[in-house]
Amino acid sequence: MSSNRILLTTALAAALVLAPPVATAAGHPHQRDGWNVGFGLGGGNADRTYSGGTSFEREDGITGNIRLGIPMRKTMHFAIETNGWRKAQNGESVMFNALTGGVAWFPSGGWVVRGGVGWGVTTESVSFEGGSLVSTETGFGLNAGVGYEFRLTHSFSLGPQIDGGFITIDSGDANWGSVSVQANWYFIPKF
């Protein structure tokens, strides 16, 4: 088992085991009246297909996302989010990222469903003695995810999320899926 998978499994197990008792003991309701900021870190796999038909087997890497949400109503936020995957090995690095505008829907309790449409980018680099080569392409991007938030304080939640992304650029397309631990802060106005 790779070190990424061990780290991810440990982080998810800790979040799933520790968050429910703390959330239950704290007794904080899921209030989302204000804007929010969140991020996630995890692991997943991705693949890429080039326009000429060349494709690669799925590879494991690290994943992360950052989001800013503004409430449209109590059960829905407009969100700007970046969701990406990266792998670096033996002087080579590949990164896929989708920067999107979309929605976060909170159907009930701690559940959240996210989705967005926007800009996709891929960056590939190779380092060698005396320098490096970097190639960046941009195009269309999508992301989507579903998760559960355990409310640990009045304004902070922690929980697991399954998400993924897709980008299409001139030279081909890429997709990735991940499992991550999400941290979210809700800035709830006081009236």
Instruction: Provide the residue ranges of all domains of the chain, joining segments of one domain with +.
Output: 3-187
Give the SS3 label for residue 53. coil
Q: What is the pTM of this model?
A: 0.80
Give the whole-number percent of the chain exceeding pLDDT 70: 85
User: What b/e string do you get for 150-160 counting C-beta neighbours within 10 Å, with b at 16 or more?
Assistant: bbbeeebbbbb
pLDDT at 125: 93
pLDDT at 23: 44
pLDDT tens digits, 93-144: 999 999 999 999 999 889 999 999 999 999 999 998 888 899 999 999 999 9
pLDDT tens digits, 41-62: 999 999 999 888 788 889 999 9
- Check: CB of residue 124 under 8 Å from CB of residue 161: no
Give the whole-number percent of the chain exceeding pLDDT 90: 63
Phi and psi torsions of 168, nearest 5°: -130, 130
pLDDT at 19: 47
**Structure-block tokens of residue 78:** 């407009």
**Structure-block tokens of residue 3:** 């070190």
- Give the CATH number of domain 3-187: 2.40.160.20
pLDDT of residue 13 exceeding 70, the answer is no
Which one-letter DSSP state was computed for residue 55?
B
Query: What's the length of the chain?
Result: 191
pLDDT at 2: 60
